[in-house]
């Protein structure tokens, strides 16, 4: 069986439900600590999966210290691109580490991205401990292939997927490796990088919405939509699986697991209740929602300038982040620690009593394939992506400490973000949470023009296949010839030169 076929058939081969243990708690409640304690003191072969490389070094040190305190000495094997010798082959190094795990107490530590490249059968015998929800499990996009579809056809075969209208991308046998530089130099290379990486790996199922690559070359054809839905259900062949994550219900990981089916999630609460209640104030600058498109316009940039001036004026010195393209509006203007908007798992910012996140991660046209795959809408994407990022970001400061009961300030772009964060914080056990507008910035009354929704109406001719295109053009050509003959006949009749049809061949009777 081909590796890509194995991925989708795993669920069909197992009749009993796979049970996933989900560790839940309030922020800072000790989910990761529970993992570290188990890894340090229990003899087994573990695969410890973390969101980012920067967390591997931090958690490996904690694991080593806790194991030493317990009189244990597990073999700890970190696998990521910054480890000497594995920069160009992280997944290969991970597979070798798994194959070579002969010590009874071994902990292999790697990233979400690397672990998602493993085949399901490679997890057999491993005890998987997955920290935080996978962020890149459901990538999707669209690629224009009007002139480059022959290259795609030469490299990838297409077979029907499990859902009507979607077709699985399979790397052809003997296809030559393609370099990152080659992809970047191609037309639309920036959008092709993730597609080629996943489609070329062989371990991820990638689908497109065309039955044949030549359909992408039809005149006026829309971009080809693609998607790759990975779910935690892919871990089902492991010996045991535990996931530590806040905000699982309603997340993209939750939706992907429901789509996969055959998974039973057993929630286990860890940690105790908060002993301190901070006074959390969420400040917002506008009534309208932000977006990367809006911030490219003059009016949107003016709002960013006003926000940076306000934060500078109040002497902000917490931790802050923004979308990459708008970082220059804040760099060197405000104090504190510049970070990434995605901070799930980070513990190094607990000394801060304020934070600012000017950020948007709403649904885009490239999300349409995932929206359809998981049966979602724009609001679901916003909740699972932007709102979850905002919540995780806000909870990395002092309020992460269950004993903290002082003041805590959060600065966000708009009122909607502030209210949604307030609801999440209250749901997480915080009781004193208030939202307040920042009148001094002077942009509360700025009105943003109406912006379009994801997706455009596509004409019937824009969605036809190459075969239908050929049939349509042939029919049109035949009709043009009929119209031409009819027009010529009318001219001859008008001029008195029309002679009518001749005698049928082989007939002695005159024509009528």
Q: What is the pLDDT of residues 336-375, one digit of tens each?
A: 999 999 988 888 999 999 999 999 999 888 888 999 889 9
- Which token pair is 367? 């999300």
Within 226-297, residue ranges assigned H as helices are 252-260, 292-295
Residue 3: its pLDDT value, please? Answer: 41
Residue 485: its pLDDT value, please? Answer: 67
Burial status of residue 441 (CB atoms within 10 A of its CB: 0-12, 13-18, 19 or more): buried
Residues 285 and 397 in one domain: yes
Residues 391 and 427 in one domain: yes
Residues 22 and 170 in one domain: no
Find, among 177, 223, 231, the residue nearest to 199 by Cα: 177
Summary mean pLDDT of the chain:
86
Domain boundary among 402, 425, 441: 441
Distance CA 112, CA 253 (A): 13
446 occurs within a structural domain: no
Residue 5: its pLDDT value, please? Answer: 46
Instruction: Give 489's pLDDT tier (boundaries 50, 70, 90).
Output: low
- Which token pair is 182? 């080659």
Span 277-304, average pLDDT: 97
Residue 294: its pLDDT value, please? Answer: 96
Instruction: Report the alpha-carbon angle 429-134-410, nearest 5.
Output: 40
Residues 336 and 375 in one domain: yes
Q: What is the pTM of this model?
A: 0.80
384 occurs within a structural domain: yes
Residues 16 and 101 in one domain: yes
453 occurs within a structural domain: no
Domain count, the chain: 4
Residues 19 and 119 in one domain: yes
Residue 89: its pLDDT value, please? Answer: 85
206 occurs within a structural domain: yes
- The 8-class DSSP code of residue 397 comes to S
80 occurs within a structural domain: yes
Residue 498: its pLDDT value, please? Answer: 65
Q: Domain range for residue 167? A: 140-227
- Checking DSSP bridges between strand 279-286 and strand 407-414, what pairing results, if any? parallel
Residues 354 and 307 in one domain: yes
Residues 112 and 242 in one domain: yes
Residues 302 and 392 in one domain: yes
56 occurs within a structural domain: yes
Residues 214 and 337 in one domain: no
3-state secondary structure of 141: strand
Domain boundary among 196, 227, 258: 227
Residue 465: its pLDDT value, please? Answer: 64
3-state secondary structure of 477: helix
Task: Count how many Cα atoms sit within 13 Å of the Cα of residue 439 in the half-sphere of its side chain.
Answer: 0
Residue 501: its pLDDT value, please? Answer: 62
Question: 99 with 211: CB under 8 angstroms?
Answer: no
Is pLDDT of 212 > 50? yes
The length of the chain in residues reads 512
Residue 283: its pLDDT value, please? Answer: 98
Instruction: Give 288's pLDDT tier (boundaries 50, 70, 90).
Output: very high
Backbone angles phi, psi at 153, to 5 degrees: -65, -35
pLDDT tens-digit series, residues 396-445? 999 999 999 999 999 999 999 999 999 999 999 999 999 999 999 999 99
Residues 347 and 485 in one domain: no
Domain boundary among 211, 243, 269: 269
Judged by phi (left if over 0) then psi (alpha if -120 to 50, else beta), residue 341 lies in alpha
CATH code where residue 316 lies: 3.40.50.300
Residue 483: its pLDDT value, please? Answer: 62
Instruction: Give 14's pLDDT tier (boundaries 50, 70, 90).
Output: very low
458 occurs within a structural domain: no
Within 275-414, residue ranges assigned H as helices are 292-295, 298-313, 368-374, 378-382, 388-394
Is pLDDT of 460 > 80? no
366 occurs within a structural domain: yes
What are the residues whose beta carbons fall under 8 Å from the beta carbon of 97, sequence distance 6 or more? 77, 79, 108
C-alpha gyration radius of the chain: 29
Lowest mean pLDDT among 29-38, 158-167, 171-180, 214-223: 171-180
pLDDT tens-digit series, residues 54-113? 999 999 999 999 999 999 999 999 999 888 877 668 999 999 999 999 999 999 999 999
Residues 239 and 212 in one domain: no
CA distances from 307 to 282, 294, 313, 482 (A): 15, 15, 10, 68
């Amino acid at each position: 069986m081909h590796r890509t076929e194995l991925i989708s058939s795993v669920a069909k081969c197992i009749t009993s439900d796979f049970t996933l243990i989900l560790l839940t708690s309030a922020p800072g409640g000790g989910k990761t600590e529970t993992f570290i304690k188990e890894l340090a003191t229990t003899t087994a072969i573990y695969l410890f999966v973390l969101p980012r490389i920067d967390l591997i070094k931090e958690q490996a040190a904690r694991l080593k210290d806790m194991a030493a305190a317990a009189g244990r000495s597990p073999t700890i094997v970190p696998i990521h691109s910054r480890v000497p010798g594995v920069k160009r082959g992280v997944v290969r190094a991970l597979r070798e580490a798994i194959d070579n795990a002969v010590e009874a107490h071994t902990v292999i530590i790697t990233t979400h991205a690397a672990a998602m490249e493993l085949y399901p059968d490679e997890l057999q015998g491993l005890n998987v401990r997955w920290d935080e929800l996978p962020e890149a499990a459901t990538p999707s996009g669209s690629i224009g292939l009007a002139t480059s579809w022959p290259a795609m056809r030469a490299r990838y075969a297409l077979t029907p997927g499990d859902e009507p209208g979607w077709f699985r991308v399979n790397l052809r046998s003997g296809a030559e490796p393609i370099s990152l530089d080659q992809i970047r130099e191609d037309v639309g290379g920036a959008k092709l990088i993730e597609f080629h990486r996943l489609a070329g790996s062989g371990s991820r199922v990638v689908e497109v919405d065309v039955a044949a690559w030549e359909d992408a070359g039809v005149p006026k054809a829309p971009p080809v939509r693609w998607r790759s839905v990975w779910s935690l259900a892919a871990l089902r062949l492991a010996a045991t699986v535990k996931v530590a994550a806040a905000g699982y219900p309603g997340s993209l990981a939750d939706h992907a697991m429901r789509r996969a089916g055959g998974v039973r999630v057993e929630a286990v609460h860890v940690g105790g209740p908060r002993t301190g209640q901070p006074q959390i104030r969420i400040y917002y600058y506008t009534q309208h929602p932000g977006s990367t498109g809006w911030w490219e316009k003059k009016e949107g940039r003016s709002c960013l300038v006003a926000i940076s001036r306000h934060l500078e004026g109040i002497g902000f010195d917490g931790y802050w982040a923004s979308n990459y393209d708008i970082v220059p509006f804040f760099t060197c203007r405000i104090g504190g620690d510049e970070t990434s908007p995605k901070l799930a798992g980070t513990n190094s910012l607990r000394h801060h009593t304020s934070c600012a996140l000017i950020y948007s991660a709403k649904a885009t046209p490239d999300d349409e394939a995932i929206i359809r795959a998981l049966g979602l809408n724009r609001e679901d994407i916003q909740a699972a992506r932007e709102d979850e990022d905002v919540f995780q970001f806000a909870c990395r400061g002092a309020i992460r400490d269950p004993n903290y009961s002082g003041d805590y300030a959060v600065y966000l772009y708009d009122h909607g973000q502030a209210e949604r964060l307030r609801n999440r914080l209250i749901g997480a056990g915080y009781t004193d949470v208030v939202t307040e507008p920042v009148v001094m910035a002077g942009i509360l009354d700025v009105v943003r023009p109406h912006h379009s929704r994801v997706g455009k109406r596509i004409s019937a001719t824009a969605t036809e296949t190459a075969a239908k295109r050929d049939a349509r053009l042939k029919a049109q050509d035949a009709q043009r010839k009929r119209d031409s003959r009819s027009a010529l006949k009318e001219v001859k009749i008008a001029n008195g030169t029309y002679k009518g049809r001749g005698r049928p061949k082989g007939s002695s009777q005159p024509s009528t």
